[in-house]
Structure formats: structure tokens, C-alpha cells
Structure 1
Amino acid sequence: MQDVNHCISKALVERYGKNTLFVLEDLTGVRQATEKVSVNHRYEMVSWAFYDLRQKIEYKARKHQAKVIAVDPTYTSQTCPKCGHTEKANRNKKTHTFCCKTCQYTTNDDRVGAMNLQQKGIEYIVEVTTNA
């Protein structure tokens, strides 16, 4: 897993490089949440070294003059990136789909999470540049 995390972090930072803002979910405590996963799926859900990957991305980003922020992951894959409606029923974990109960926007649930992280990154940049 160490090698996988090294390769992923290196590829990300080298591809996007200087002046990039990497927005990661703060997955502190994720192991406790995933411990409830059934035994058949436990390895895939619990074994990934989230903290190690984050540390490697942060270290490599500093070396390449990039920045990493960790944001609260709450509702990132339940919030519609189009209309902002948040509801647990928007996301179907079994089919990995997202369908907003308000505006009917439909896509992959991981894509919705990524879109919401991008929005949090934009909000961070606006805040930093406004307060500078």
C-alpha cells in the first residue's frame, strides 16, 4: 500500500504541479465508520491507508509549491452540485448513483463528491484572495 500511495501522490503532484490547490476530504475517523462494513467487503473498505496517502500528497505538494487543504467530508456525495439540495436519498450507494430529489440531476455518486470538493476549493480560494 505504501508503494501504491507513493505512486498515486507522485503522479498527482507531478501532473498538476506548482500553484495547484489539492482538496482532500479529511478522513480522520473513517476507520471507525467503515468498521461496520460486512466481513466480505471489509478489506476493500478498511485497508486503504487514507492518512498515509494524504501525508504523501502534502509532502510532495510542498516540494512542488502546491497547497493541500482537507475539508469536512460530511454530505459531499449527498449534496446536489447543481441546486445545493442535500438529502440522504439523493445517493444510492449500491448502484453508485446520485439523483437529486429536487432538480433530478443524475450522475455517479463519486463524481458528485468530486464536484462538491472542487466547489469547496473554489470557496477557499475566494476566501483567501478576498481576505488578502
Structure 2
Amino acid sequence: KQLAQRENRWMTDVNHRLAKTLVSIYGSRTLFALEDLTNVTFNTDDLPKALRSSHRSWAFFQLELFLTYKAATVQSKVLKISPAFTSQRCPQCGLIEKTNRHHETHEYHCCRCQYRSNDDRLGAMNIKLLGEEWLRGVKRPQIKKVTATG
């Protein structure tokens, strides 16, 4: 229990520092686009039952809360982006193909245009593109499914 409390305090401190650093580096009137991780869960089978619910994705939610209130103090905004297809869409040609992402190697390789990238980087690039759409006036930006045949 003491170890869990120490870890919680450490993670809270990390989230505060990260949010503060982001806001101080990017300043006022900045749009922070974050993937909406509501209801995202991680494998907690190795934890005791009493700790499973508290170790789901609280750190991400807490970071979002800290960033939201710190951003508001400098007239910045946090936008939650739907995670649908963000790690499956090619930023070059727009193809969405689940098999292009290789979880084991954390690579993305587009079968249409041969674009290659780290899969986390690819997700971040797509989230950035959706944030830019929001800035251009799209109320709820999201990736629309485009397949190899369409």
C-alpha cells in the first residue's frame, strides 16, 4: 500500500510537471490535441483485484485534467480527438489498413505508397492533422475510413 501511494504521488508530480512544461513552452493561444483515451484499459491481470480498477488509465486522465486547467489559465485549449484509425491511417496517401501496423515491431508500413514510420509517431501525426482541421473550423474532426479499393 505504501509503495502504491508513493507511485501515485510520483505520477501526480510527473503529470503536473509535464502539463506545466507544455503550457510554458507553447504559451498562450495554443491548441493541445490529445487522443481521447476515455474507456481505454490496459492489462492488469498481474495485479491484485483490489488494485485493478485504480491502475486502468488514471495517469492519462489526470494529465488531461492538469493540462486542461493549466492551458485555460493562458487562454489555450485542449481538444480531445477520437482515437478511431489514428494509428492505421497513412499520412501520405490516406489509406486506412489495419494490417499496415505491426504491433510487435511498432512499425507502420503502407502497402499503397510504401510510407514507413513508427506507429506511435504515425498516431501523433494523425492527431496533429485532426487538430489542424479543428482550427480550420471542422467541429468534430475525425478520420474517415478509406480503403485500398475506395
Q: Normalising by structure 2, what TM-score? A: 0.75
AA of the residue aligned to 2:85 = Y
Could you say which residue in structure 1 is the equivalent of 2:27? 17
Q: Does 1:70 align with 2:89?
A: no
Q: Offset of 1:94 from its aligned partner? A: 1.2
- Are the counterparts in 1 of residues 34 and 81 from structure 2 also a CA contact under 8 Å? yes
Which structure 2 segments of 5+ residues have no match? 1-10, 139-150
Which structure 1 segments of 5+ residues have no match? none
- Are the counterparts in 1 of residues 40 and 57 from structure 2 also a CA contact under 8 Å? no
Residue identity (%): 48
Superposed CA deviations along residues 77-131 of structure 1, whole A, max 9, x for unmatched, are 1110111101111111111111111111001111101110110011101116xxx
Q: Does 1:26 align with 2:36?
A: yes
AA of the residue aligned to 1:96 = H
Q: Offset of 1:63 from its aligned partner? A: 0.5
| Root mean square deviation of aligned Cα | 2.0
Counterpart Cα distance in 2 of 1:93 and 1:114 = 16
**Which aligned pairs between 1:34-113 and structure 2 lie closer than 5 A?**
34-35=42-43, 39=46, 46=56, 49-113=59-123
Distance change (3 Å), C-alpha of 1:39 and 1:27: same
Q: Normalising by structure 1, what TM-score? A: 0.84
How many residue pairs match? The answer is 122
Q: Offset of 1:39 from its aligned partner? A: 4.0
